[in-house]
């Protein structure tokens, strides 16, 4: 075994690695529990901002539909695994919202301003760290990897500081050597910039790095970055196993299926 490497089993697939990078939402944390409350709160703030001049009901429906979300209120939401809500960056999300508002007669400049300002205001109103639910077994797995000498990192479409605060709130923040969000790179997923930045900062090789994510976009990013093993995890996310399997080197049910072997 190469010096500084640890033999890790991702399900039935063994891989010698010195660095495992994880996506956050849908991989370490349950996607719906974190992001549906954020979308609901943001839509509520948007409706307050537009006032009574524009049709609140149709705009609300359009905002959910534009994100690929059905039955957004009341905890019965279904999310299109190929839709924007599952894949869009925060930058892209502002365009989606502004476009939906514009289609209902709101001038583009105002629509863009509302989309940007409500993103900020939502974070002030809603502490989403408290709604985040860690996927069972994640903490124990991370501790085991860390104790075995594996470097750990997170690459997420979220804002870096907000991601770090959520991980800390859940009691796993100190386990990561590096956390990177979309605000630290120029290109959004699936561009490999995010993963390549992590690999460079941690000082490991791409060939000996494993990346674990829950979406097709994650799998594409891993492949473009040239990491040695691209792993799909399905519990906690919304992408069907068969879709992830088309690009992943191996598919596991959950991060708890990762262990030292």
Is residue 190 within 8 Å of 213, Cβ to Cβ? no
The pLDDT, as a whole number, for residue 56 is: 92
Whether residue 90 is predicted with pLDDT greater than 90 in this model: the reply is no
Q: What is the four-CA torsion angle of 234, 155, 216, 89, rounded to 10 degrees?
A: 120
**CB-based contacts of 160: which residues, under 8 Å, 6+ apart?**
179, 180, 181, 183, 184
Q: Read off the tokens for 70.
A: 């059905």
Distances (CA, A) of 98 to 68, 114, 172: 15, 8, 35
What's residue 3's pLDDT? 65
> Does residue 4 register a pLDDT over 80?
no
User: Per mean pLDDT, which range of 49-53, 207-211, 227-231 is the poorest?
Assistant: 49-53
pLDDT, tens only, 22-36:
999 999 999 988 888
H or E stretch at 164: helix 160-169
- Token readout for 74 is 């009341």
Distance between CA atoms of 71 and 88, rounded to whole angstroms?
A: 19
pTM of the model: 0.87
pLDDT in tens, 100-121: 999 999 999 999 999 999 999 9
**Rounded (10°) angle between helices 90-102 and 108-125:** 130
Q: How many CB atoms lie within 10 A of CB 187?
A: 12
Measured distance CA(204)–CA(37) in Å, rounded: 37
Domains of the chain: 6-30+132-260 (3.40.50.1000), 32-129 (no CATH)
Give residue 75's pLDDT: 56
């Amino acid at each position: 075994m190469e010096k500084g490497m640890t033999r890790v089993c991702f399900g039935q697939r063994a891989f010698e690695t010195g660095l495992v990078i994880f996506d956050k939402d849908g991989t370490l944390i349950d996607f719906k529990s974190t992001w549906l409350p954020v979308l609901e709160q943001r839509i509520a703030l948007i409706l307050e901002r537009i006032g009574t001049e524009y049709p609140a009901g149709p705009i609300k429906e359009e905002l959910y539909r534009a994100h690929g979300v059905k039955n957004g209120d009341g905890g019965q939401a279904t999310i299109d695994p190929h839709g924007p809500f599952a894949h869009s960056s925060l930058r892209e999300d502002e365009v989606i919202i502004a476009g939906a508002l514009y289609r209902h007669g709101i001038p583009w400049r105002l629509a863009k301003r509302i989309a940007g300002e409500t993103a900020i205001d939502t974070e002030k109103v809603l502490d989403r760290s408290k709604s985040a639910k860690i996927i069972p077994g994640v903490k124990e797995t991370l501790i085991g990897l860390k104790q075995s000498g594996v470097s750990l990192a997170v690459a997420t479409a979220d804002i870096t500081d907000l991601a770090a605060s959520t991980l800390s709130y859940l009691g796993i923040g100190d386990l990561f050597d590096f956390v990177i969000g979309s605000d630290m790179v120029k290109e959004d997923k699936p561009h490999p910039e995010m993963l390549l930045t992590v690999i460079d900062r941690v000082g490991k090789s791409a060939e000996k790095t494993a990346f674990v994510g829950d979406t097709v976009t994650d799998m594409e990013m891993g492949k473009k970055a040239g990491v040695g093993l691209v792993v799909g995890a399905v519990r906690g996310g919304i992408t069907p196993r068969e879709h992830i399997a088309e690009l992943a080197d191996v598919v596991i049910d959950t991060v708890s299926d990762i262990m030292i072997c």
